């Protein structure tokens, strides 16, 4: 039996992972399941899967979790330290599906144990790519991509030599506002931004898809994961979300990965790797689909894509600035304090401010420096939002 843990078990990726575990429970020995506010779901899954330990990120919900698991032999714990301790429990395979920079530390700890880390949490590589990759190398741990585009690239590269790769093209659906006129975007509401045309995901990544911040993070994630230079990475808008990514080779061939937009494919690929196993994913009927469309993304419409290029040029801790600022701007948008287009404006201003400050971005990439940078970026976003409100 493989020992496995799921970080962010109560979320969209976490629940899809558990759906796959549930289909073959005797193959897995579940070590740790973690969640946040959704105590009921966490307790239900921990009990059913007979997990060793269930952890909520919120210390004030510990007693609720204890009550929900009363009578079972699942251990309970709460808070960031408990998450880190749970991540240190030996496991063969760990799903990293906490949302945001909060997923970084548990993922790093799992790598330090030599676990295979299935990485849905793209923020991990955006904030701390070098640190994460060095940690994996040092502990002989493996990282497997779960983000659909990166899983697609990973699959297209099986048996290939990176030296013959000319470019990696990741697709973007265009999100909720693909067909909106630019003039309407400034007044887009949280509710409107929270519905995705093709994918069913957590609210934060869904809004990030509408603003293309999600794609911006993925471009940086591509650079880190596959170690290729930024000018070899392209983004193309593909409204149907059937082609997830393409790899272009030096002989002119382009390998495209296609599939229904269902995250259980990428999760299952990482779970069963290096083998493939039957997965409960809808099979494509291309004749029924009829056509697949592709369009150049407009960087005026999606300034996040331009910012991703700037972040890759600056390097160092600028990924942590970018992600922290983006997460905090998103919090303010969700809370109704700023408009949809303000998010990119504010993130751009915070990146410039960091750039102008001595050598902050060039400080060594330690976990402390990444977390401090993330924290400072959030404070600067808070200040920028307060200033706007005061105007």
Residues at the annotated binding site?
10-13, 36, 38, 121-123, 147-149, 173, 196, 202, 209, 214-215, 218
304 binds, among Mg ion, ligand NDP, none (CB under 5 to 8 A by kind): none
* 155 touches ligand NDP (CB under 6 A): no
Binding site, annotated residues for Mn(2+): 147, 149, 218
* 35 touches ligand NDP (CB under 6 A): yes
Using CA atoms, how far residue 272 sits from 53, 70, 112, 165, 261, in Å, is: 24, 33, 22, 26, 19
Question: Which residue in 76, 108, 122, 246 binds ligand NDP (CB under 6 A)?
Answer: 122
**Residues whose CB falls within 8 Å of the CB of residue 215, separated by 6 or more in sequence, listed in order:** 170, 172, 209, 235, 297, 302, 304, 305, 308
> 135 to 154, contacts with ligand NDP by CB under 6 A?
147
The DSSP element (H or E) to which 256 belongs, if any, is strand 254-258
The DSSP element (H or E) to which 347 belongs, if any, is helix 342-356
> 103 to 132, contacts with Mg ion by CB under 5 A?
none
* Beta pairing, strands 2-7 & 243-249: unpaired
* ∠ Cα 301 307 309 (to 5°): 115
121 binds, among ligand NDP, Mg ion, none (CB under 5 to 8 A by kind): ligand NDP
* 208 touches Mg ion (CB under 5 A): no
Nearest approach, Cβ of residue 226 and Mg ion (Å) = 14
> 223 to 252, contacts with ligand NDP by CB under 6 A?
none
Q: Return the closest-CA partner of residue 57 out of 18, 85, 91.
A: 85
* 147 touches Mg ion (CB under 5 A): yes
| Greatest pairwise CA separation for the chain in angstroms | 62
Decide if 347 contacts 325 (C-beta within 8 A): yes
**Residues whose CB falls within 8 Å of the CB of residue 377, separated by 6 or more in sequence, listed in order:** 320, 321, 322, 323, 324, 325, 328, 350, 354
Question: Which residue in 21, 82, 86, 99 binds ligand NDP (CB under 6 A)?
Answer: 99
* 14 touches ligand NDP (CB under 6 A): yes
257 binds, among ligand NDP, Mg ion, none (CB under 5 to 8 A by kind): none
Positions that interact with ligand NDP (CB under 6 A): 8-14, 35-38, 57, 97-99, 102, 120-123, 147, 199, 201-202, 204-205, 263
Positions that interact with Mg ion (CB under 5 A): 147-149
């Amino acid at each position: 039996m493989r020992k496995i843990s799921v970080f962010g078990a109560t979320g969209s990726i976490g629940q899809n992972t558990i759906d796959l575990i549930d289909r073959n429970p005797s193959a897995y020995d579940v070590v740790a399941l973690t969640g946040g506010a959704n105590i009921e779901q966490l307790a239900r899954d921990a009990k059913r899967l007979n997990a060793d330990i269930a952890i909520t990120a919120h210390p004030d919900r510990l007693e609720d979790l204890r009550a929900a698991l009363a009578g079972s032999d699942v251990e309970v714990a709460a808070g960031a330290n408990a998450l880190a301790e749970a991540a240190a429990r030996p496991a063969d395979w760990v799903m990293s599906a906490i949302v945001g920079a909060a997923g970084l530390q548990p993922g790093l700890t799992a790598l330090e144990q030599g676990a295979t880390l299935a990485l849905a949490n793209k923020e991990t590589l955006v904030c701390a790519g070098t640190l994460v990759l060095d940690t994996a190398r040092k502990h002989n741990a493996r990282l497997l991509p779960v983000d659909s585009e990166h899983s697609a690239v990973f699959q297209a590269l099986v048996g290939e030599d990176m030296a013959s790769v000319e470019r990696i093209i990741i697709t973007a659906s265009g999100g909720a506002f693909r067909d909106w006129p630019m003039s309407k975007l400034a007044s887009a509401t949280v509710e409107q931004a929270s519905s995705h045309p093709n994918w069913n995901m957590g609210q934060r990544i869904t809004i990030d898809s509408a603003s293309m911040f999600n794609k911006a993070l993925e471009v940086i994630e591509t650079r880190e994961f596959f170690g290729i230079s930024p000018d070899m990475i392209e983004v193309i808008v593909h409204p149907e979300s059937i082609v997830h990514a393409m790899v272009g080779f030096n002989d002119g061939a382009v390998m495209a990965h296609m599939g229904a937009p269902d995250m259980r494919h990428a999760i299952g690929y990482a779970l069963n790797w290096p083998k493939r196993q039957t997965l409960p994913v809808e099979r494509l009927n291309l004749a029924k689909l009829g056509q697949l469309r592709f369009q150049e993304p407009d960087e005026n419409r999606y300034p996040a894509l331009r910012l991703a290029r700037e972040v890759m040029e600056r390097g160092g801790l600028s990924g942590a600035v970018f992600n922290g600022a983006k997460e905090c701007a998103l919090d303010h948008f969700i809370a109704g304090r700023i408009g949809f287009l303000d998010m990119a404006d504010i993130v751009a201003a915070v990146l410039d401010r960091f750039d102008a400050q001595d050598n902050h971005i060039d400080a060594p990439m330690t976990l402390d420096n990444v977390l401090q940078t993330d924290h400072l970026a959030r404070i600067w976003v808070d200040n920028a939002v307060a200033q706007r409100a005061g105007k």
